[in-house]
Structure 1
């Protein structure tokens, strides 16, 4: 344990003390000042304490991008409890698993809509969870049977005070548990310390020239339950007294209008969101005015195709800064250097206070030679405490302070990293290693290809065959066979996709990552 004490909620308190009347959140016609945000968070903290929540307890939260998320998030932290944000797409069985696995004592959930009945799944999961005793529904409860008046969020918090003395926590106490996607086995909870998330939010000064005296206006389209939106956007905005413009669910045309209306200076998204923004541009959008406001554009989650990078620069006049990280690294581990010419396709260099290197399967360092491929390992203030209640799983990924990411990369002679692929996504065709990212980068340059995912499919003689699943550009007449022929001209014989399939859309997670496992 460190000797120092620091509660992650101090990010909010510090900005409240300096800029109480500055707008913290914009949601539709609603404007919430920093003073009002803390007052609402204090009500949540008092409610939790009254219901028996104590420092170190776990409190789960299922909420889309709404002001409620930020209010409850900081309210939980103020009590010294741990926030457990849950994906709003979880079904009741999955909710119960997460509540049980995290040992959640209390649970806040948004009621949702008929199209996305978050509350129904939450209520069902809560009833099947063993140790979760308190349930708070953000809504009327009209769509659910059995929810009592005492379990309705609004009346429950209304009776509590707007003042609360924040509970001090040790730097190494757990602030947030983020569940991994669970692509292999059951989802695991990454325990992030107060110092992990606090320090990661404050990297905005070094990475993006963030300045509380010149606050940014952030458009938050990334899910707040995910590490990227939660830390880089929400916490990054709060840390420097910025304004968070919240969009409940990403929709490109509406996002562009919000950027214009609120003079957004900071946009963060995953590659598919940038692709969608470019596709949504039409004569109704004053691109010149939008570009004049935009100061920073950042991307993460997966590698940004070079063609999207190029088009965004041409249309918006801003170079997208690519970063890299994982839930286990709070999340940011590396970033492109702000103000420098970009190296397209690079995820940049380690952020201040963080080291990165490339390793082999046995944890040994790769040869320190340019373009040598290895698995990224990370060490620094951002690395998680471990997977909650999973010492064996933790030991598999953390050794001597180094966290192995599962991502394959190369490093150039100047120390800039380039993702090659997820190690588990690598295709082995006839004994040759094929990295889908490389193929996708080239395929998307073809005018027929709007979006593409390359996967390996079983093959009797080669072990795996290479398949490209393509969303076509509207109106393009290219056939699947013609695209295969074109690809054959671009790649070595062992790596071009023998199979091309045109589809209307690609399955994606709530954070915009393509779900390749659903394409096989």
Structure 2
């Protein structure tokens, strides 16, 4: 991928159809190393302007059209005084507007703050306030606003955002709120040409929120250089192809789909088939219709795909063009490896990473057969060590905490210097995950960060859930743990000690959690107790609770 020369910010001169004519270089730009993550799109738009970039249902955008639409978003932000270093939140499902807005924000020099579409109003408000977002692009969908109209009214009055834009594919209800506009209305009249802001390689490009294992979610600041190099490294690890077709079922607000498929895919000039909501039958149909060559998913998706195949011929038809299958987000069961290879004709390659590492850190080496259970080896430009509590290497043959150093590691947590200092030292990031390494250098995760739960590929952080539960007037104490689950990997269970005299049922608490927390987070299992096991200092002993747990079968 070639990096364009430094350019002045703002609308580029030149008439329609004549392309962008770059203005003279500024004096300060001559001394500024230019790298903007938007080059992932811009370079490909110059090389293959007429190739399909994204397809979603009956809507298709070529590379030229996608780049032009992103330019309109950049001009919109510039017209509102939003530019280099400003934070802009984006909450959107897998539809063409996601990459349009994402790259438009980057072109303007601003920082993208992806927000999980499953979050509730309280959780969204936290992300906007903590990131200091100046604008918020929010997907409305065809049925209703995620926040509801009343929620938007209160939202716009209390949050610090200056501009709210609704991303919609359908009719929009009338709004009396002056600060809420549809994206189409806001883009009306904006130019399709824009010279991207001069950003430095070390500038923050994206802030991805993650809780680690404790406390409120923290924003990992990822740089233009780190994100670009990680995307190009993904392309390198996955091998060359004249024209890949990706089926994108992973949410683009998540680091996995964002880097491995969107950024890497567009840099490789692939066509991305966007699926707003994963379902196995629909995915199989899209694989056949679009002759998909690349699929990435979490283990539960592979389980669902195998479950949808009523005969080997179904898998063979869907996988006849499949070149690459990638899994991440949680350990992939060995049996899924074997069954998928037998029925789809393609081996699944596993990788490992975190939001703080952009995310890819290890992967099955090119030209090597996957080793079921292994996360592979460090990717290009990345080092991995296994360390103890004192940050020193534990030595060969021993289990240690995974530490990562390389281009992919975050700058730090946004406005969290103390939290940053806990996990970063000398360029090394300690992950909290325990692993072993075999004599060939292949890595194997043996345990996860202390209490974190992974449900269906999504990280769930018990302390955040516990603090939300404790806000309920009938809850006195709460402890949240993961329960092994046959299809989701883990299910979330809450042990609750009610306030004396409170009248509350387990079913009522589950219902309350469903309306308060994102769908992947809320505990579907609640057990009321008179007390919880504690040590002498009053710390709840979750390990004692885990010993009482038996694995679950399939559960919604």
TM normalised by structure 2 equals: 0.76
Say if 1:48 and 1:119 are closer, same or farther in 2 by CA, change over 3 A.
farther
SS at match of 1:339: coil
Verify the 8 A CA contact 1:290 1:316 in the aligned structure 2: yes
Match of 2:342 among 294, 302, 314: 314
- Distance in 1, matches of 2:401 and 2:348, equals 25
Deviation at 1:501, TM superposition (A): 5.2
Deviation at 1:452, TM superposition (A): 5.2
Partner residue in 2 for 1:329: 357
Partner residue in 2 for 1:59: 88
Deviation at 1:238, TM superposition (A): 0.5
Match of 2:428 among 396, 402, 405: 402
Match of 2:209 among 179, 189, 195: 179
Say if 1:395 and 1:464 are closer, same or farther in 2 by CA, change over 3 A.
closer
Deviation at 1:328, TM superposition (A): 0.3
Deviation at 1:286, TM superposition (A): 3.3
Over aligned residues, Cα RMSD in angstroms? 2.7
Unaligned runs of 5+ in 1: 428-442, 468-496, 507-520
SS at match of 1:151: strand
Say if 1:172 and 1:239 are closer, same or farther in 2 by CA, change over 3 A.
same
SS at match of 1:36: helix
Match of 2:388 among 354, 360, 379: 360
Q: Matched residue pairs, number?
A: 453
Partner residue in 1 for 2:543: 464
SS at match of 2:331: coil
Match of 2:264 among 236, 240, 251: 236
User: Structure 1 residue 380 and structure 2 residue 409: aligned?
Assistant: no
Q: Deviations over 1:26-60 (max 9, x none)?
A: 11111210000011111111111111112111111
SS at match of 1:64: coil
Partner residue in 1 for 2:232: 202
- Distance in 2, matches of 1:394 and 1:350, equals 23
Match of 1:301 among 310, 324, 329: 329
Partner residue in 2 for 1:268: 296
SS at match of 1:74: helix
Deviation at 1:373, TM superposition (A): 0.8
Unaligned runs of 5+ in 2: 1-30, 454-483, 496-531, 536-540
- Distance in 2, matches of 1:334 and 1:132, equals 37
Deviation at 1:450, TM superposition (A): 5.5
Deviation at 1:309, TM superposition (A): 1.0
Say if 1:409 and 1:12 are closer, same or farther in 2 by CA, change over 3 A.
same
SS at match of 1:83: strand
User: Structure 1 residue 29 and structure 2 residue 72: aligned?
Assistant: no
Say if 1:176 and 1:501 are closer, same or farther in 2 by CA, change over 3 A.
closer
Deviation at 1:340, TM superposition (A): 1.4
Deviation at 1:150, TM superposition (A): 6.8
Verify the 8 A CA contact 2:73 2:105 in the aligned structure 1: yes
Partner residue in 2 for 1:484: none
TM normalised by structure 1 equals: 0.81
- Distance in 1, matches of 2:490 and 2:248, equals 26
Deviation at 1:425, TM superposition (A): 3.9
Partner residue in 2 for 1:168: 198
Partner residue in 2 for 1:477: none
SS at match of 1:286: helix
Say if 1:334 and 1:290 are closer, same or farther in 2 by CA, change over 3 A.
same
SS at match of 1:500: coil
Deviation at 1:330, TM superposition (A): 0.4
Say if 1:342 and 1:36 are closer, same or farther in 2 by CA, change over 3 A.
same
Verify the 8 A CA contact 1:270 1:300 in the aligned structure 2: yes
SS at match of 1:87: coil
Say if 1:286 and 1:121 are closer, same or farther in 2 by CA, change over 3 A.
farther
Q: Deviations over 1:279-338 (max 9, x none)?
A: 111249632232220000001111111111111111111111000000000000000123
Say if 1:225 and 1:340 are closer, same or farther in 2 by CA, change over 3 A.
same
Verify the 8 A CA contact 1:304 1:345 in the aligned structure 2: yes
Q: Deviations over 1:317-374 (max 9, x none)?
A: 11110000000000000001233122110000000000000011221211x222x111
Verify the 8 A CA contact 2:312 2:343 in the aligned structure 1: no
Partner residue in 2 for 1:411: 437
Partner residue in 1 for 2:377: 349
Match of 1:82 among 103, 106, 111: 111
User: Structure 1 residue 224 and structure 2 residue 252: aligned?
Assistant: yes
Verify the 8 A CA contact 2:121 2:147 in the aligned structure 1: no
